[in-house]
């Protein structure tokens, strides 16, 4: 059995979930751990992840590791590509393959072509593969509907909705959705792209590319959800009039027609719980509903599973469209 060495880069809540996912894989072996947070660096990986991982001390830089080239870096640090770039380039330069949870790296070709080209060139030069994944973007609003679309020839439109109960998710995500803040403040931060989910347009671009559609315009609409009555959240009690989540929509126009609609609702104590629905309208009208898909656990599983096959990809920058679908490697 081919054992794959992995380096944990970023050990916040998602990174810790990835650590537990790695601990459950017989083909993965942890050989290093990095986090720049002084409260995390110096601690033991197994303790942080509360799992049966090797006795490794977390260091604050890749340069402090002596791992051989060919290892897979599991990067779970930031959402924006500008922030992830120096970490990615450093890993690539040291000869490491990368599986990242950076949302903007999932499909960077349209919004960040210069960064994408730089990473592609660097990865090819070092002979490594770089891939970003996650539950959203990277799975529920792009890869899964693309897989369903293979069962029909003519598609008129696709509508995907994801509803997330924030009370079931980590506090950092609730803060990212403005829970407890005033609606005017949250709307201003949404307009400045300093709050809310990162990656809705990314999913739309990748879904369109997989369908072979040329998107003319993407209309984005982001709004806070306001509590009608006082409710409990993971950040404490939110009074009536306070924000308890956000509602975001991305509408993709193709040849002047609305062909892709992505709706994301992230709300504390949402009625009905976390659920996802994919509607494909066309020659066959198909509906798929998933209940209870936990985003953090799914992202961790995707990162761990893709690390089993990323080393088999040709050197360069990949997306989940160019990675093997339905296999965890052999």
* 327 inside domain: no
* 326 inside domain: no
Averaged over 17-37, what is the pLDDT?
97
* 161 inside domain: yes
pLDDT of 330 reads 52
| Strand pairing category for 236-238 and 231-233 | antiparallel
Averaged over 123-149, what is the pLDDT?
96
Please provide the average confidence, as pLDDT, over all residues in the chain: 94
- pLDDT of 109 above 80: yes
Least Cα distance to 105 among 67, 76, 125 occurs for 76
In a shared domain, residues 27 and 84:
yes
Q: How far apart are CA 201 and CA 206, in angstroms?
A: 9
Pull the structure tokens for residue 74: 């599991």
Q: How far apart are CA 193 and CA 290, in angstroms?
A: 29
In a shared domain, residues 272 and 151:
yes
- 223: domain range? 143-292
Tokens 């830089």 correspond to 61
In a shared domain, residues 58 and 185:
no
User: Residue 329 — very low, low, confident or very high, per pLDDT cuts 50/70/90?
Assistant: low
Pull the structure tokens for residue 95: 């000869």
* 325 inside domain: no
pLDDT of 272 reads 85
Averaged over 315-319, what is the pLDDT?
97
Tokens 């509408």 correspond to 251
Q: How far apart are CA 46 and CA 44, in angstroms?
A: 6
Domain count, the chain: 2
- Confirm if 187 and 223 have CB atoms less than 8 A apart: yes
In a shared domain, residues 212 and 279:
yes
Q: What is the CATH number of the domain that holds 112?
A: 3.40.50.720
Pull the structure tokens for residue 123: 């990865």
pLDDT of 324 reads 77
- List, in sequence order, every residue forming a beta bridge with 120; answer none if it has no partner: none
For 72-81, 96-105, 165-174, which range has the lowest pLDDT when averaged over its residues? 165-174
* 201 inside domain: yes
In a shared domain, residues 157 and 171:
yes
Pull the structure tokens for residue 44: 């033991």
């Amino acid at each position: 059995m081919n054992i794959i060495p992995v380096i944990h880069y970023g050990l916040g809540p998602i990174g810790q979930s990835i650590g537990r996912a790695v601990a459950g894989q017989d083909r993965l072996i942890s050989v290093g751990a990095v986090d720049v947070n002084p409260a995390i660096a110096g601690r033991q990986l197994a303790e942080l992840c509360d799992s049966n991982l090797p006795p490794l001390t977390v260091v604050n830089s890749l340069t402090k590791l002596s791992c051989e080239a060919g290892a897979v870096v599991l990067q779970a640090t930031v959402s924006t590509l500008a922030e992830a770039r120096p970490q990615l380039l450093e890993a690539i330069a040291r000869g490491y393959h990368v599986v990242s949870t950076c949302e903007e790296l999932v499909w960077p070709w349209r919004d960040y072509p210069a960064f994408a080209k730089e990473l592609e060139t660097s990865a090819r030069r070092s002979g490594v593969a770089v891939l970003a994944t996650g539950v959203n973007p990277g799975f529920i609003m792009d890869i899964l509907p693309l897989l369903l679309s293979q069962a029909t020839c003519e598609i008129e439109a696709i509508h995907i909705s994801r509803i997330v109960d924030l009370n079931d998710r980590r506090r950092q995500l609730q803060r990212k959705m403005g829970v407890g803040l005033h609606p005017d403040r949250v709307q201003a931060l949404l307009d400045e792209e300093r709050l809310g989910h990162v990656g809705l347009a990314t999913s739309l671009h990748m879904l369109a590319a997989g369908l072979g559609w040329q998107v003319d315009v993407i209309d984005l609409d982001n709004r806070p959800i306001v509590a009608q009555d006082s409710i409990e959240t993971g950040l404490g009690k939110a009074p009536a009039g306070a924000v308890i989540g956000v509602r975001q929509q991305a509408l993709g126009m193709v040849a002047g027609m609305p062909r892709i609609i992505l709706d994301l609702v992230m709300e504390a104590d949402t009625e009905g719980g976390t659920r996802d629905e994919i509607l494909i309208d066309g020659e066959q009208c198909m509906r798929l509903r998933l209940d209870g898909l936990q985003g953090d656990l799914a992202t961790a599983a995707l990162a761990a599973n893709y690390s089993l096959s990323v080393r088999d990809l040709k050197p360069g920058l990949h997306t989940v469209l160019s990675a093997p679908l339905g296999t965890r490697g052999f």
